[in-house]
Amino acid sequence: LTAPLFDLFGRAFSGRDLILLGGGLVVLAVAVMMLAAESISTFVERHPTIKILALSFLLLIGLSLVADGLGTHIPKGYVYFAMGFSMFVEAINIRIRRKTEPVQLRKRYEKAAR
Contacts of 86 (CB under 8 A, 6+ apart): 53, 56, 57
- What is the reported pTM? 0.58
At 18-37, the pLDDT tens digits run 999 888 887 888 899 999 99
How much is the average pLDDT of 30-46?
A: 90
Query: pLDDT, tens digit, for every residue of 87-105?
Result: 999 999 888 888 877 667 7
Rg of the chain (C-alpha set): 23
What residue type is assigned to position 44 of the chain?
A: V
What is the rounded average pLDDT of the residues 80-92? 94
Which of 21, 19, 17, 14 minimizes the C-alpha distance to 5?
Answer: 14
